[in-house]
Structure 1
């Protein structure tokens, strides 16, 4: 790509680069007019696609409107037609909390339904004999409490898997004697067992393991839909058959064929078990485990059953062995079980599902693995797009690095569901802009906003500001109910330009970190309780804690990050794939091009170690790190420290000595460094892998990301400490020489960057970044460039006298919408309207609306500020920048005289007005939006909205809303840059 190509294409980014939307539909209730109107609005506001799903809507007939009904199938057809007509992408949504991941064609007792391993037990004294029928699972007993949505339906069948006995060493602590494990399954006759506990010290416990369906259901649906089996092939076959025979009508297939960006989106795996065993299972697990791992899993089952109150990270095993040696052995078995689960998830769900979708003209985008005890990164190559989300990962750079590795290694689109919080209509727009900026720094280049809901919904449950969609407690809405939606066309174009820039060419990541994790903490974003039990507001946690308080989760030493050395994570077994290569200098040179790898966890697959050794003999740079610490569960305060890297194999493969020999050889090699975490940067420098865009001086404020296209280097830099007040100046040393250009994401202008110099085959780019500010610099390596000093900036004028009119938003009269499709009934929706009242505050000094007479603390909406800016002269060749100071985090626009409307960065609202400023008097018009928090607070809205963040810790309370500072806060200054 040439610089001219880049300049032309980024000026008005194509629709595929625009942010997309998760769209919550009130089941199939919406009429055709509503659906088409919503899509037209989303398209008008600059969004690039719609991912749609049915949300449970009260007060309507689910049999008529739920997923799978004629109304839902009809609405799906309308959605695909209208998005396709407008060139937008369209995504069907799958996932265990959404009914279209579950089927009406199965019962919990079918092989295609999700299965769990349940357990009953008996305790016997030494020498005591038991005889008679086996204890069975009471399938009618109340289900164990779970935080995840979903209910358990009626289960009838259970199948014996195994009977195992073990000596009890400490009943209260759940300690068993691992050497005593005895399988008794062969002794069962006609569902009865006769067995005598051995004499000696300690009681014996006999465990009876039964397989039965989980019975998990999801709503809304036209009938009862049960969750499918993700382990055995029967599950995906049933899903494929249902979609093939029922959902994908000939008309729908024809529409999908016309949309080159039709997708299936597989949401996070929020699968639940309800019995005492706590283990997902399948009919083939025992046989598959034996074939893949080389030994029998059954005798080890007492050490595998568990409680899982909230996703895999919350796993609590029922029993533990005594002694370090046995603990290591049991850990290896647990690892092997999850490796097997991951294999089966890949082979029996993802791979065949993707193949089916490709055959009908769709791609598969998925939040792979997390939520379940699957390895996080190994499934990455099996899907077309890898997705993460801001809610569960809390907008933390380290969390996004987890999935960046497989995305970049295999050239997958890396995207994120962005904007979900435990708040509702509360937070300023800057909060969400900062999430997006963090994600871009990790290599995410597709933002799917969470989300969009039509204001229209069912009668009796829909109130202003509109149909909630994703419940009134677990999301933000980026739709027309927001005062800021007026400015969305400017904003979505700006995001589109950033995403275009960061899809150019290939990512250039300096270091790959080998990391295997079967229990990834995907609840870091919900760790909102302080040490004294206090509820920490989302905006405080995101803005001042965790990564913004020098606390990364999985790679805790910040030396590389401070130096500008980029890195990301992946399971080492991915290096064994045929489509991953090493050219003697870089790993995957056509992808991220890692110049060094890091091994730091206590376990390492011996085949991976041998692979690293072979590569090291060809020049691979490797850093072995002892003593690294990482988070296991942030919410529970659990960490682990890996005292010695690669000290043992992760599984029960008997190859520890082989691994030790390999690692001993590796540690002696000249291209390998062995160090503590604090010595990694020095080690990388010694190996010549010190970073392609290295900071000249370490800086704790800035994150960078680098892309390379033929002839172009695209550098992204972000001052991520957005709640601080001080700017930072950094000099970034980029490999290659050429002319540097700075992108204005809000206008698409690409101008020569002032503050670049050539040095020894590299370009030093100087940037001064305000807190929260993003910069994109494009280096054209095909063009020679002279050094240019950083510009000088001076204040030319200030706007002091302002007039303010606030367009105050509140509930208006609702509109009733009816649709009669000739099916014998009439569908009715209620569409709350917004009443806008003009509040003329007259001449004001810039302050929050809550402090201005005539506006006040109960107002939300859009404020229009006008002022006269006197400019004595306009110098030729100078740039003029209007610095708004602060807009309270609100989205808005600026117009000078009759010039164009320009948007601005909510963290750093500085607008280039060079072409509009004239000598003499200039009329400034600044429009600034708010959230709906203050108006909803005044209406008592939050008094009935549950605080989901508090509920997750067992505290029942409603959301606490405070008055937010809205408006243009200033000071407003005209700056001249020369």
Structure 2
């Protein structure tokens, strides 16, 4: 039974906890564990002194480095474009920017990532129509009546297609078309999808490859008479001519960047050749070795009527064993389009109306495309490694491929919070990274389409903790903008994305000087979450090709028991890392205790063989709704059928079949599969469904990250550790490490109770050693037990009544009641009234200066703490608020001062909060549970307290939404300001002081 303790994660005043070093460097992690900022600069005309100052500002708040991105107005051109012959990507001036950034990072001991191209990094300057640039497949078509003869020139390509508008460059329609093949097909029927798109059903038996019948661009062919109508398709390869960055036609470099082929190494070699020829001199190479970490490419925002590479047919024939030419018209489908957006043409050709886009030919196409993408990524990674860095990329997830298969292709796989909006979606990404030994998975975090300057720090931390729970362990913060002036731009300064997206972190934000607390919290979590190896209880089999960002499991039922999980694709299962030892999958890696296959239908031949191998090696396998029995693509069905039949036989006692997921937990129990963290109880009972855990192990210790996504709750938890493991609490907000002195030890592990507020996290370490005497249970009025001085326990009690402890040696400790007087109460009161002074950040009088003027507003005593937005006179204020008050710590005649602990709770934190008592700054506050032990800061009698809070810049921008400009234009989505309420900021409390009894036993 769990001890009746309440393990509150109070930030301790210095000197309370016995010194403990569970994890070296935890108090102040080194740079490789610290969050980085994506840094946008407009072009190479920037002021180098300001660039250096911006980087220094990152170091001052505790960032680990930056990812430098030559923004060039997201590639769309704009102010200064006429000078890009001098300041464009790849120019000598651009190289000088790289040198300054690298040298400054070296000076301030930071790391630096660099985008491999302008804007998102999808291309480089090169002469148009150069081999290695992106190509696409198009078709032209003509109809022939059954029995009639087609004689004449082939139809030309239809070059106008349904491009994705808006955030990607349009294709420029020039250059020749190369004939790839000619095919024909008989028409069975047609159906309307909507007002603009139709599907025409082709007869598979009628498909013909007519390529050999073509001579000098002409075809003579008589259609069979078995169908009323045949369609002749002429298939052409054309350059996409999509720029990743505009330019000016002064020379090749000034002319902008062109998207490269992302489905072969020819594309990556264009990138690396440009860097080798124009940017990587000896100085840059040396600096990259000193401070460089990653080359980097953003999510792949590239367009094509059909994604292609010049030798695609040869690759296809070699890998798939047949010529795809006659099936190519089927591939122009929404399932092969960017993000599954829409079919490229208004008419789509299918073999059947149901499950169109999922035929074996589509799967074979996507398999081949996936192999080309992996070749592209691996080539970039090899080049980066040759420079002493590695390659990071937001791999594949806009493309019609299997993302889970592609993740291991780079050393630094990355996702982004804008697309990966749920923990379950992140778990689909990180599983293949963990299995393949990619220990660090990053996320571009904090891009929210809610209007610039609107993101609060608690909201940012929420995105961090969601990512941590999803197995992501490096935050790449979106982002920091260049701090200098910009043409035709007003206060508050250079604002990429035309005010649409958050966030523009920089010293221009009132919260900037308060971000160091967040940076330390993040670094400490990332240190733990990069230590050792991530462990998961369950692997879910997932085949989704093309992969889409969607939730596959709510999983509250298995989380309620404590089970953790992630996903693996058939490609992942077929790798050499996927082996079973001692009935555990990937025992030296994630160490999955069971594999779950839920309502999956497709599997590769290699993966089907692995399933049989797993079953024979004793891995528990639970099948929900049936085994996948259809091969992926067109080959290997006989192998799949044989292996699945073997797996479905009854002689594998470790393989269980159930009808629905409601039976999963019971079957796991029957198979003796237990979670590493078991939830024995929770209060309220439903809270366990919202508790996420992540386990890390190294040779020295086990570490557990816990995150409560739901309402405040108390959890009774058992951690599956050995008898020689001692629990310790690691406080990510303060850096303190303290032995946990209230727990129980059972055969199944260490059991303790943990209370977490909504969105609160905790870190618990289990270190080898002999436990000192500890408490196994106690009365409910004991709120915390610290490891005290001289081997004693420091017990905090919240009332004068007697308390009782049961020690691990079975002895009972009775702490007598404080006094016999019935009216004795421990002090508990609200601090106030507060005097408020606001520092309002507003534009300066000079419109050419985009920095803020800071005007002081003396608001005086506040009878009640309320957000600034509640007061009409200051609802439009952004800035910094200083609240001051005094309070009396009473002299208790019945309790010596050194036998008390003084706790202050600050209420809800709306953005940031820092506290000084009697002139001394307090430790960082956990913004999800803003409570501190201030015993070492207060004195008996009168005390002064000062609380300083900051806001976003949103309210001040909202008040001026009709006048703020970015190169002469206002916010792109003005309604993000005009239709949104004033943000609440300030100290809202109540700020409450509580005195507890402190007893040494």
Same fold (TM over 0.5): yes
Aligned residue for 1:112?
A: 132
CA contact (8 A) 2:498 2:972 kept: no
- 2:958, 2:977 within 8 Å by CA — same for their partners in 1? no
Find the aligned partners of 1:671 and 1:951 in 2 and give their Cα distance.
Answer: 58
Q: CA deviation at 1:171?
A: 2.9
Output the TM-score relative to the length of structure 1.
Answer: 0.87
**1-side partners of 2:256 and 2:532: how far apart?**
47
The residue number in structure 2 matching 1:866 is 884
Match of 1:531?
A: none
Tell me the SS of whatever aligns to 1:120. strand
Cross-structure match for 1:774? 761
**Superposed displacement of residue 359, structure 1:** 1.1
Match of 2:655 in 1: 672
1:730 and 2:712 aligned: no
Identify the residue that residue 503 of structure 1 maps to in structure 2: 530
User: 3-state SS of the aligned residue for 1:858?
Assistant: coil
What secondary structure does 2:689 align onto? coil
Which residue pairs with 2:604 in the alignment? 605
Shift of 1:308: 7.5
Query: Does 2:729 correspond to 1:742?
Result: yes
* Larger displacement relative to structure 2 (935-944 or 574-583): 935-944
Q: Give the structure 2 partner of residue 787 of structure 1.
A: 775
Q: Following the alignment from structure 2 to structure 1, what is the Cα–Cα distance between the partners of residues 22 and 692?
A: 23
Q: Which residue of 2 aligns with 1:164?
A: 183
Q: 2:693 aligns with which of 701, 704, 708?
A: 704
Equivalent residues of 1:300, 1:333 under 8 A apart: yes
DSSP 3-state at the match of 2:29: coil
- Cα contact 1:376–1:403 (8 A) shared by 2: yes
Other structure's SS at 2:609 match: helix
Structure 1 position 314 matched with structure 2 position 303: no
Matched, 1:848 2:867: yes
Q: Does 1:490 align with 2:517?
A: yes
Contact kept in structure 1, 2:558 and 2:665, CA below 8 Å: yes
**Structure 1 residue 135 corresponds to structure 2 residue 122:** no
How far has the Cα of 1:315 moved from its partner? 4.8
Bigger relative contact order (CA 8 A; separation at least 6)? 2
CA distance in 2, matches of 1:479, 1:308: 41
Q: CA deviation at 1:157?
A: 1.5
Pick one of 881, 892, 913 that aligns with 1:892.
Answer: 913
Paired with 2:525 and 2:40, the residues of 1 have a C-alpha distance of 26
Equivalent residue number for residue 573 of structure 1: 571
Measured in 2, the distance between the counterparts of 1:372 and 1:47 equals: 32
User: Matches of 2:52 and 2:975 in 1, distance apart?
Assistant: 39
Q: Does 1:435 align with 2:463?
A: yes
Structure 1 CA distance for aligned equivalents of residues 355 and 185 of structure 2: 15
Q: Which of structures 1 and 2 has the bigger CA Rg?
A: 2
CA distance in 2, matches of 1:320, 1:781: 64
* SS state at 1:234 partner: helix
* Structure 2 match to 1:452: 480
CA contact (8 A) 2:70 2:119 kept: no
**Partner Cα distance (2:200, 2:364) in 1:** 22
- Between 1:667-676 and 1:655-664, the stretch displaced more is 655-664
Structure 1 residue aligned with 2:614: 615
Over 3 Å counting, the alpha-carbon distance change for 1:479 and 1:663 in structure 2 is farther
1:504–1:707 CA contact under 8 A, matched in 2: yes
Per-residue Cα deviation, 1:317-373 (whole angstroms, up to 9, x for no partner):
85454559x9699622211111111111112x1222211111121211121111111
SS in 2 for 1:378: helix
Tell me the distance in 1 between the aligned counterparts of 2:441 and 2:561.
25
Q: Distance in 1 between matches of 2:423 and 2:981?
A: 29
- Is 1:193–2:219 an aligned residue pair? yes
SS of equivalent to 1:653: coil
Corresponding position: 1:832 with 2:850: yes
2:48 maps to 1:48 = no
TM-score by length of 2: 0.85
Q: Is the 1:95–1:268 contact (alpha carbons within 8 Å) kept by the matching residues of 2? A: no
Q: 2:310 aligns with which of 280, 283, 299?
A: 283
CA–CA distance in structure 2, aligned partners of residues 956 and 299 of structure 1: 50
The Cα of 1:196 is off from its aligned counterpart by 2.4
3-state SS in 2 of match to 1:491: helix
Partner in structure 1 of residue 705 of structure 2: 716
Among 277, 283, 286, the residue aligned to 1:254: 286
The 1:951–1:254 alpha-carbon spacing in structure 2 relative to 1, beyond 3 Å, is closer
Report the aligned-residue RMSD.
2.8
Counterparts of 2:351 and 2:156, CA distance in 1 = 29
Distance 1:578 1:879, change over 3 A: farther
Residue 649 (structure 1) aligns with? 631
Task: Report matched runs for 1:34-45 at 5 Å.
Answer: 34-45=50-61
Shift of 1:408: 1.4
The match for 1:345 is: 373
Alignment check: 8 A CA contact 1:29 1:457 kept: no
SS of corresponding position for 1:478: coil
> Post-superposition shift, 1:718?
1.2
Is residue 299 from structure 1 mapped to residue 326 from structure 2 by the alignment? yes
What residue in structure 2 maps to residue 973 of structure 1? 992
Pairwise mapping of residues 44-193 of structure 1 onto structure 2 (< 5 A)?
44-57=60-73, 58-60=78-80, 61-94=83-116, 97-98=119-120, 100-107=121-128, 109-137=129-157, 144-172=163-191, 173-193=199-219
Distance 2:844 2:235 in 1: 60
Q: Aligned ranges for residues 165-564 of structure 1 at < 5 Å?
A: 165-172=184-191, 173-219=199-245, 221=247, 222-259=254-291, 261-273=292-304, 278-307=305-334, 311-316=338-343, 319=348, 321=350, 331-347=359-375, 349-394=376-421, 396-412=422-438, 413-423=440-450, 424-460=452-488, 462-522=489-549, 553-564=551-562
- Measured after TM superposition, the shift of residue 279 of structure 1 is 0.9
Counterpart contact for 1:62–1:220, Cα < 8 Å:
no
Partner of 2:792: none
Gap runs ≥5 in structure 1: 525-552, 627-643, 816-829
Report the CA distance shift for 1:9/1:655 in structure 2 as closer, same or farther (over 3 A): same
User: Is residue 2:747 matched to residue 1:760?
Assistant: yes
**Residues 630 and 640 of structure 2 are in contact (CA less than 8 Å); yes or no, is this contact kept in structure 1?**
no
Measure the CA separation in 2 of the matches of 1:514 and 1:658: 16
Alignment CA distance shift 1:45-1:267 (3 Å): same
Tell me, what secondary structure is at the counterpart of 1:28?
coil
Aligned to 2:585: 587
Alignment partners' CA distance in 1, 2:648 and 2:995: 57
Structure 2 contact 912–949 (Cα < 8 Å) conserved: yes
Deviations 1:391-445 (A, max 9, x none): 1112x10111112112212232111110001022123221111110111112211
Answer whether contact 2:240 2:303 (CA < 8 A) is retained.
yes
Q: Which moved more, 1:573-582 or 1:856-865?
A: 573-582
The 2-side partners of 1:695 and 1:941 are apart by: 53
Tell me how far 1:813 sits from its aligned partner. 4.7
Provide the C-alpha distance between the structure 2 equivalents of 1:651 and 1:426, rounded to a whole number of angstroms: 47
